[in-house]
Amino acid sequence: MDSISPVSRGWRLCMVASCISCIIPIFFLKHSHDSVNLSILGSTDIASTISINESDANSHDSVNLSILGTQLNEEYKCNIFDGKWVYDPKGSPMYKGAQCPFLSDQVSCQRNGRSDFIYEKWSWEAKGCKIPRFDATDMLERLRGKRVIIVGDSLNRNQWESLACLLYSALPPSQTLVDVKSGTYKVFTAKAYNFSVEFYWSPFLMQQNVNQDNGARILRLDRVATSAMKWIGADIMLFNTGHWWDLFQYEGKTVENMDIESAFDMAMNTWARWVDQNVDATKTRVFFRSISPEHKGKHWCYNKTQPIEDDSYETTFPGKIIKVVERTMQRMKTPVTYLNITKLSQHRKDAHPAVYATKKWKQLLALQNRKPETYADCSHWCLPGLPDTWNRLLYVSLVLDTSKVILSS
């Protein structure tokens, strides 16, 4: 019998090892779960899981979602709220203001005489991943048979007008109903899709009364707004608050000059209890939008046509208020998605109405030159404009199926 040389024996062992090394990865790949975990990080972390299967891929071909560098079962970090503004004259804006006759004067900057258009042509680009653009057709399908409510102050009304216009401009007017007569309740309905997007004006999310003696607002920090009974049963809820706090009432006692942070904390706890007691998390998605920044002082919005390019720029909104919101969501049993638009909005000093928030802009323009801090609206936003990006990120959150907010340490 011929003997096997040490070299031949080593060669055969190498071949066997190579075969085994090929078989093992194939085995594990075959039995791995078809999912991608996407962790969105920022001042809060939003843990997301995207399930991938053949039926999902075929049903949403219109959505161009490309998470760069992601493989199955690979942890990948993509913060959709962190990125940069890119000039995109071909892709922006997503509609024309004239397509939505129901837009209020406050946001209709072009109709009110603003002559520049560059502020409409910026697109948000997230770092490290490509997020889908707002797809009105896909959004209409996702909302079919559903009810969306947007509750909060005039900045949430700004977002409601944007979302209503994004969807309205994609449909024949005969297939829609829009009621904007009330200052406290507005609704857009898509008849063919059997869904509605409603706005409830509630700037504090709490019950408001008026002091009969001096006319001052009184907030009941232990009671949610009276309209809350109408919120129940919505499929998607989007809330905001944080502006305009001045006089409070808690447990039946009026408290003047109360610490803002303490009062806000009480209100947020009251809101959180209502959500936990009245929302079925298996049927309803809850969102909370972060504070929309103003632009005053050094970065005053008047006569500005370009975004702020200084990455270190931050507005003066109190960080303590933001921390209260984050702490509250962390304690809730109901999953809440944090629509964290503050930082990306800080750089858009060019996107405010300024004097173009009214048809009387010529008179304001003259006054503006003498006293700009009084007459320029540097709080709200032109449409088309920045709130369209807020709704794009709302859409992205629905596409990615983000759910539980987990605060970073």
pLDDT at 247: 65
Query: How far apart, in whole angstroms, are the C-alpha atoms of residue 282 and residue 108?
Result: 38
Which of 377, 379, 388, 397 is an active site residue? 377
Residue 66 lies in a domain: no
Residue 4 lies in a domain: no
**Pairing outcome for strands 147-152 and 253-255:** unpaired
Q: What is the pLDDT of residues 74-125, one digit of tens each?
A: 344 678 999 999 999 999 999 999 999 999 999 999 999 999 999 999 999 9
Using alpha carbons only, what angle is made at residue 352 by residues 242 and 344, rounded to the nearest 5 degrees? Answer: 60
pLDDT at 209: 83
pLDDT higher at 371 or 243? 243
pLDDT higher at 16 or 88? 88
Q: 389: domain CATH number?
A: 3.40.50.1110
Of 126, 129, 127, the residue nearest 67 (C-alpha): 129
Contacts of residue 137, defined as CB under 8 A and 6 or more positions apart, other chains included, come to: 62, 170
Average pLDDT, the chain: 79
Query: How far apart, in whole angstroms, are the C-alpha atoms of residue 97 and residue 382?
Result: 10
Task: Indicate if 31 belongs to the active site.
Answer: no
Residue 15 lies in a domain: no
Mean pLDDT of 295-312: 80
Host domain of residue 95: 79-407
Residue 243 lies in a domain: yes
Residue 65 in this model has a pLDDT that exceeds 70? no
DSSP 8-class letter at 193? G
Residue 12 lies in a domain: no
Task: Indicate if 380 belongs to the active site.
Answer: yes
pLDDT at 328: 97
Percentage of residues of the chain with pLDDT beyond 90: 55
213 confidence band (pLDDT: 50, 70, 90) = confident
Query: How far apart, in whole angstroms, are the C-alpha atoms of residue 150 and residue 40?
Result: 23
Q: What is the pLDDT of residues 128-140, one digit of tens each?
A: 888 899 999 999 9
Which of 295, 347, 352, 380 is an active site residue? 380
> How many domains does the structure of the chain reveal?
1
**Burial class for 406, CB neighbours closer than 10 Å (0-12, 13-18, 19+):** middle
Which of 154, 202, 292, 379 is an active site residue? 154
Residue 18 lies in a domain: no
Contacts of residue 121, defined as CB under 8 A and 6 or more positions apart, other chains included, come to: 87, 88, 89, 92, 93
Residue 169 in this model has a pLDDT that exceeds 80? yes
pLDDT higher at 297 or 70? 297
Of 141, 156, 219, 229, the residue nearest 186 (C-alpha): 156
pLDDT at 368: 63
Residue 35 lies in a domain: no
Task: Indicate if 154 belongs to the active site.
Answer: yes
| Whole-Å CA distances, 365 to 99, 104, 136, 297 | 27, 20, 36, 18
Residue 6 lies in a domain: no
pLDDT at 398: 92
Residue 212 CB: number of other CB atoms within 10 A? 8
